[in-house]
Structure 1
Amino acid sequence: MGRRKSVALLTLSFVLVYLGLVSISHIANLDRSQGLSSRSQEDVQYTLPSMDQVLQSVSDLDLQRVLKAYKNRHEEIPPDTPPLRLIVVSTWRSGSTLLGEVLASYPGVYYHYEPLTPYGLHQISPGVLQNEVTDLLNKILHCQYSGLDEYLKFAFVNPDLFVRNTRLWYMCGAMPRTKCYLPENLNKLCSLFPVHAMKLVRLRLEVVKDLVAADPKVKIIFLVRDPRAVMASRTRNIDWCETRECIDPGYLCADMSRDLAQYLVIKEEYPDNILLLRYEDFANDLYKKSEEILKWAGLTFHKNVKSYLDDHTTSDEEEPWSTRHDPKSRVGRWMKMIRFDEVARIQYHCRNVMKSLGYRTFSSISEMSGGNAVGLLNIP
């Protein structure tokens, strides 16, 4: 009897332990499933309201009319377009305007053109302005214009910041201009677009890294150009490059060197979120490189992008800010624009970073006249 009672108690113990383990396993699986679901939702979570939802939330009659008129254009956005934040990081006169416009030609792209223009001809590195600048960029990249009064005041008197955003400006042109700068209106218009493209020529990669760390949807295109071509363009094509940070090749190449080092750090930590692009490679095969860039970002080589390239590469405007020309025909033009002593000075400051990026140095005028300045890029 005692032995039977012991067996019964032992069996009961096993049953209780088994039930406990099953319960724990069930809870763990439930937690894991909820965790995976939550993480999955977090990865794809993006507040992208439909046009109808935005229309229902708008009381302003002008804004309602603009949205209704834009509705057909908005439907051109491919339904499988992923939520993205594409940031072109470069420096003055490196081809970033052309690249930015290529990206902006894709349907569904909301283009933030040079949002750091208010900071003048200066480079922003880690330091005093870092938090201020990243806060501004994070807000406009996520359609949060409220509280950005100074930025909006600057944009109002410097319309280029909004004019270059052709989709926004199309809508702005159909209502009183002041309404285009109201935060509540911008929040709604901006939120319609799944892809945001931004070009920055005043912010170094070490600061931009904060944006990648904060949001996995952020992807950086690190655009570089032969510093000799950059300096030739700054000193020959424009008259506004007056600060030492703009006119001194030592500053340019110090920035390029730091950026390249930071690129390698970001590439190690976020391999899918950064792409190194030489302007020369881009210009020499514009269609192929545009397709590769879009594919890397998760987009297709849309017919609108091809139409943009067809239109811009068959024109030939000489204005220094124009993107209407065939860049391939101008890649080596700098060699006829500056004296060899200037080339030697730039190479003195830039030799190491030029070697890393595959730019060949010249030791004589005759060597330079051969025009073979771009070698192989050996950086991933």
Structure 2
Amino acid sequence: MRMARIRISSTIMTLLIMVQTGFLLFMYARYNSFTPPSEEKSSQVHILILSSWRSGSSFVGQLFSQHPSVFYLMEPAWHVWVTMYQNSAKVLHMAVRDLVRSVFLCDMSVFDAYMPWKRNLSDLFQWAVSRALCSAPACDSFQRTEITSEMACKTLCGRYPFSKVEEACKTYSHVVIKEVRFFDLKVLYPLLTDPSLNLKIIHLVRDPRAVVKSREQSVKALARDNGIVLSTNGTKLEDSKYKVMQEICRSHVQIYETATLKPPSFLKDRYLLIRFEDLELLWLKVGRPGRGKADEV
């Protein structure tokens, strides 16, 4: 079978490399600037993309995922929420945090509580958007230097055993997780003070008007998550009155204020706020050559 691959223009590829390199260089600079004298630095770089639904986080996640040095997972805590959907987001914070920590440490046995059956790669939520799980050693059909289509990955890699997730994770220098299920930065304090992680956080926000418009196109898909956010005891909810958005906006403000207004010392150089609109502007300026300055605004 001939493997399908995506053809990407040299301009777009250059842009992706520029943004990837910029992110990674920034994280390296921050990473090296703060090393507590009594603690050893982790051999891996750990980055948490902290955001909310429909905020462009999948795009930002792919900027990391497509880098051959990055092991990336998209929202592994989905498994926690699906299994324990009758609880509130606040109650589930601890379980989500513990799962994220285990994933950062490449200990995938944490999924035993949420997927007790014999598993393949395809049992992991959104596994095929991770380039690391669509290439060796997770899947022998593709090499790390290749960019493949999600469909080709699902066709050729889905039946590989789940143990390949942990095996692959241990071979990468960077572990990046994208999550939309944290509403309080203080919940992450145990991870931020864990010397085995030396965790960095990218806090991605987006204009709430754009988020609302995007959410309106995914009402049914978000119904279960809405119920967990608003603590409806397992009842799915179509958020016609935007109560979920109010909670999301409140949490973003709280996270930002916690990280910037008299933050604890261990947060120094560990938090970065990014607006999705700024990334869009960068894409317009760099990704579409040959336009006048008026078109670049």
Q: TM-score, normalised by structure 1?
A: 0.49
3-state SS of 2:108 partner: coil
User: What is the distance in 2 between the residues matched to 1:179 and 1:107?
Assistant: 20
CA gap 1:187/1:163 in 2 versus in 1, 3 angstroms: same
Per-residue deviation, 1:125: 4.2
Q: Does 1:225 align with 2:225?
A: no
Judge conservation of contact 1:123–1:203 (CA < 8 Å) in 2: no
1:197 is aligned, of 176, 195, 201, to 176
2:101 corresponds to which residue? 138
User: What is the distance in 1 between the residues matched to 2:274 and 2:219?
Assistant: 24
Gaps of 5+ in 2: 1-34, 142-156, 230-237, 290-294
Q: Deviations 1:248-278 (Å, cap 9, x if unpaired)?
A: 4232223322332232223422131111111
Judge conservation of contact 1:123–1:204 (CA < 8 Å) in 2: no
3-state SS of 2:222 partner: coil
**Residue correspondence of structure 1 range 16-27 to structure 2 within 5 A:** none
Per-residue deviation, 1:156: 4.8
**Residue correspondence of structure 1 range 20-169 to structure 2 within 5 A:** 42-46=39-43, 83-118=44-79, 119-120=81-82, 125-126=89-90, 128-152=91-115, 156=121, 158-169=123-134
Give every structure 1 segment of 4 or more consecutive aligned residues whose post-TM-superposition deviation is greater than 6 Å.
Answer: 121-124
3-state SS of 2:97 partner: helix
CA gap 1:287/1:84 in 2 versus in 1, 3 angstroms: farther
1:214 corresponds to which residue? 194
Q: Deviations 1:276-330 (Å, cap 9, x if unpaired)?
A: 1111112111499xxxxxxxxxxxxxxxxxxxx96xx79xxxxxxxxxxxxxx9x
User: What is the distance in 1 between the residues matched to 2:112 and 2:218?
Assistant: 34
Judge conservation of contact 1:123–1:202 (CA < 8 Å) in 2: no
Per-residue deviation, 1:108: 0.8
Work out which structure has the larger RCO, using CA pairs closer than 8 Å and 6 or more positions apart in sequence: 2
Q: TM-score, normalised by structure 2?
A: 0.62
User: What is the distance in 2 between the residues matched to 1:277 and 1:155?
Assistant: 35
Q: Deviations 1:11-39 (Å, cap 9, x if unpaired)?
A: xxxxxxxxxxxxxxxxxxxxxxxxxxx96
Q: Which amino acid aligns with 1:256?
A: C
Q: Which amino acid aligns with 2:134?
A: W
1:259 is aligned, of 247, 252, 255, to 252
1:8 corresponds to which residue? none
User: What is the distance in 2 between the residues matched to 1:131 and 1:221?
Assistant: 20
More helix by share: 1
How many residues of Structure 1 are paired with residues of Structure 2 in the alignment? 218
CA gap 1:271/1:240 in 2 versus in 1, 3 angstroms: same
Judge conservation of contact 1:141–1:196 (CA < 8 Å) in 2: yes
User: What is the distance in 1 between the residues matched to 2:92 and 2:222?
Assistant: 22
Judge conservation of contact 2:50–2:201 (CA < 8 Å) in 1: yes
User: What is the distance in 2 between the residues matched to 1:123 and 1:99?
Assistant: 29
Gaps of 5+ in 1: 1-37, 47-82, 289-308, 315-328, 330-371, 373-380
Judge conservation of contact 2:184–2:254 (CA < 8 Å) in 1: no
Q: Does 1:235 align with 2:216?
A: yes
Q: Deviations 1:98-150 (Å, cap 9, x if unpaired)?
A: 00001222231000111012214899644x32332211111111111135324
1:282 is aligned, of 243, 268, 279, to 279
User: What is the distance in 2 between the residues matched to 1:259 and 1:123?
Assistant: 21
User: What is the distance in 2 between the residues matched to 1:209 and 1:161?
Assistant: 27
User: What is the distance in 1 between the residues matched to 2:171 and 2:250?
Assistant: 38
